[in-house]
């Protein structure tokens, strides 16, 4: 079972850390008029970085990856058959 509460806390912590980092960078550079923009960008960057390392779904077991790849291949072939043929 996926631990949504733990995952959400991690995502929130990353976003808050990014906001603090962005805001402190704006303060250090003296760009106080854009402190909100810096905080938002920092929050988004660290939040997206957290999502990249901790997606909200469990990864497929190794023995199912080949089956999933085969299923995708079959789906692509079926979709390709439905496409109109190129005119010559």
pLDDT band of residue 21 (cuts 50, 70, 90) is very high
- Chain centroid, CA 5 distance in Å: 18
Predicted confidence (pLDDT) at residue 58 exceeds the cutoff of 70: no
**pLDDT score of 61:** 64
**pLDDT score of 12:** 94
pLDDT, greater one: 5 or 81:
5
Cα end-to-end span (Å), the chain:
54
Q: Measure the CA dihedral 37/39/42/44, to 10°.
A: -80
């Amino acid at each position: 079972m996926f631990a949504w509460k733990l995952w959400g806390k991690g995502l929130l912590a990353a976003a808050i850390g990014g906001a603090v980092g962005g805001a402190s960078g704006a303060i250090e550079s003296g760009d106080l008029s854009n402190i909100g923009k810096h905080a938002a960008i920092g929050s988004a960057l660290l939040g997206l970085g957290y999502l990249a390392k901790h997606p909200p779904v469990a990864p497929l077991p190794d023995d199912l990856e080949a089956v999933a790849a085969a299923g995708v291949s079959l789906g692509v072939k079926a979709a390709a058959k439905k496409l109109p043929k190129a005119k010559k």
